[in-house]
Amino acid sequence: MNINTTKVISLLFFIFSAFYLYTAYQIQVFAFDENAPFNARTFPIYLGYAGLFFSGLKIILPDPNTIKVQHKTLEYKKTAILIIIAIIYGATILKVGYFLTTSLFLFSSYYFLGERRWVLMFLLSFPFVAAFMYLLHGVLDIYLRDPFLQSIGVMG
């Protein structure tokens, strides 16, 4: 039997729905709510069954619009690098601060996407983030914690 990727995704969704349903049944409710017509687990339980129903149908019914993705033509490497850069951004922003991490995030993203015009890359990262930060912090009054700028005395 030839099973296409859409069916595999549907199967994964079916398993996910089963897990969701199991977890929904485990939701602790107050004793007086246990037999109430509606409690905190009622809606999630229906959702779990709905997930099983629709993904189950998708698995068993014929798929007239099969989607075929040409994986060889996809740019996995650059996409993965961008995702890793974003994860590193998330890991460092609280410790280093908004300005430096965001600027480096932009600069490295330009670089890994193939850009080599250094001046433009610099202008569209460090000064751009500084201007955006001023807009948020100075104009819109949104506080941005920045240990790096505080350590060099730029921010109070």
Query: For residues 79-138, which are near another protein according to CB under 8 A?
Result: 79, 82-83, 86-87, 89-91, 93-94, 98, 102, 105-106, 109-110, 113-115, 120, 124, 132, 136
**20 near another protein, judged by CB under 8 A:** yes
Contact 41, 27 (CB under 8 A): yes
Of these, 1, 31, 34, 38, which contacts another protein (CB under 8 A)? 38
Q: Which is nearer to another protein, 106 or 149 (CB)?
A: 106
- CB-neighbour burial class of residue 123 (10 A; exposed 0-12, middle 13-18, buried 19+): exposed
Helix, strand or coil, per DSSP, at residue 149: helix
Q: Which is nearer to another protein, 9 or 154 (CB)?
A: 9
Residue whose token pair is 């993904």: 55
CA pair distance 48, 25, nearest whole angstrom: 10
Of these, 22, 25, 43, 118, which contacts another protein (CB under 8 A)? 43
Number of chain positions touching another protein (CB under 8 A): 71
Q: Which is nearer to another protein, 94 or 154 (CB)?
A: 94
CA pair distance 51, 14, nearest whole angstrom: 7
Selection from 87, 84, 101, 110 nearest residue 144 by Cα:
101
Per-residue interface string for the shown chain with another protein, residues 45-64, x marking contact by CB under 8 A: --x--xx--xx-xx--xxxx
